[in-house]
Chains A and B, each alone.
Chain A
């Protein structure tokens, strides 16, 4: 069972061939260095408008790397939301054209669901057992998801303002450290003191109720306040080095994420915590979630870096389980910018 998967929800255009939902035969991302060497051009910060230029080359590359042709495909999977409509449409059109011309099933996939499925591309022994908690952290999303079974999700917490990855990028840019902020802060923080400054840890209190809806905030996140606290601190010029500032900022973010993930796993009686999204590449988050999770008897599953950031292999994996349940899409499948899980 070979599925060609396409992902163009935001900045990245990606294509992959996945066999039986577990074996990655190819995994091409347009901004990857190798692909760029071959086709030239710089790696743009915002690539969405370039999707239309790279979509056919990356599909061809994915098939070539997998050593197969179009006729060997059993289905085509594509992300249809959430994302930027103009970006999503490029992938959708390509996927529909291929599926239609080959008379094979088309499978629309939710981008958030695909991030969860990155955990099923680990080696077999590492696949999380249901039910589990997935902490999804990226530049655009931060959520805690209770995964009950294939296709059965309950979002139990999400950010009220900025995504965690966005806070990293904005703090890095404010401190003039460069882009992307995540890896830069991760590296610099290793030389700093994470306890130098005690930045605010919003929403760590259980069931605090502030304004803004008055809903129970038990598992929701807020990172805008941490970002503003860093800006205020720097504006005051309170004396710490940049290394200490970023180490303390990172610690505040990681602290909130890990505490809430472990609390959720306990309350929902899950034995496993899985990680997904680009921020899952942060070394402090990985270490602390493993360490504190394992202390509490939790198994912590983390996909390799290349499967945490946006990619198409995770889309192909999610599609395999949909196809097994005959959940295919019609050709009138539309891009849904604000698609929910």
Chain B
């Protein structure tokens, strides 16, 4: 399903709806160019999962951990070069810790990508407009 948002605030609102339905051990994989709004959408998802803390970019530190109604793991693979670096970091350990795992630049997971993830793609349409494609499973829940 494709959803168009016209501002960062609308992207956050969409994130909140996605987050509200998430269950333990669910993994959301996000792809989109720099500045597309991946972190913005995740800030909304975190609110939906009940995280009260500010959700900031984990680019430097790679993984940020929060607590909401479920543990919330925000992973950013931007700085990694390939799947061997992902393996060295042990990111797959976060997939089954009973929380929600949201991964930016998930395409870098390569063969390590979990089978059960929900893909969300963000495209830049204009300065503030974005096209957000969500997996059919997520789309069904949003209806």
State the A residues within 8 Å of B (CB).
Answer: 10, 45-46, 48-49, 82-86, 138-140, 158-163, 165-166, 169-170, 173-174, 210-213, 224, 227-228, 231-232, 337-338
Contacts and interface: CB of A to CB of B under 8 A. Distances in A.
Contacts of A338: 64-66
A34 B72 CA distance: 40
7 contacts: A49-B89, A84-B61, A159-B56, A162-B57, A163-B60, A173-B34, A231-B35
B67 to A, nearest CB: 9
B39 A337 contact: no
A245 B118 CA distance: 37
Contacts of B64: 337-338
Interface string B84-98: 010011100000000
B12 to A, nearest CB: 7
A161 B56 CA distance: 4
Interface-centre pick from B12, B60, B64 (highest chain A CB count, 10 A): B60
Nearest to A159: B56
Nearest to B59: A166
Contact of B60 (A86, A166, A212): A166
B12 A212 contact: yes
Interface in B64-86: 64-66, 79-81, 85
Nearest to B61: A140
B54 A213 contact: yes
A166 B88 contact: no
Question: Contact residue range for chain B?
Answer: 20 to 34
Contact of B54 (A139, A158, A211): A158
A139 B60 contact: yes
Contact of A46 (B39, B54, B57, B85): B85
A211 to B, nearest CB: 5
Considering the complex of A and B, which 5 residue pairs feature the smallest CB-CB distances, nearest first? Answer: A140-B60, A49-B88, A231-B35, A139-B60, A228-B35
B31 interface: no
Nearest to B9: A211
B80 A232 contact: no
A304 to B, nearest CB: 22
B57 A224 contact: yes
B132 to A, nearest CB: 16
Contacts of B59: 139, 162-163, 166, 169-170
A232 B127 contact: yes
Given A49-B89, A140-B61, A161 B80 contact: no
Contacts of A173: 34
Contacts of B65: 337-338
A337 B61 CA distance: 9
A85 B91 CA distance: 11
Contacts of A232: 35, 127
Contacts of B61: 10, 82-84, 140, 337
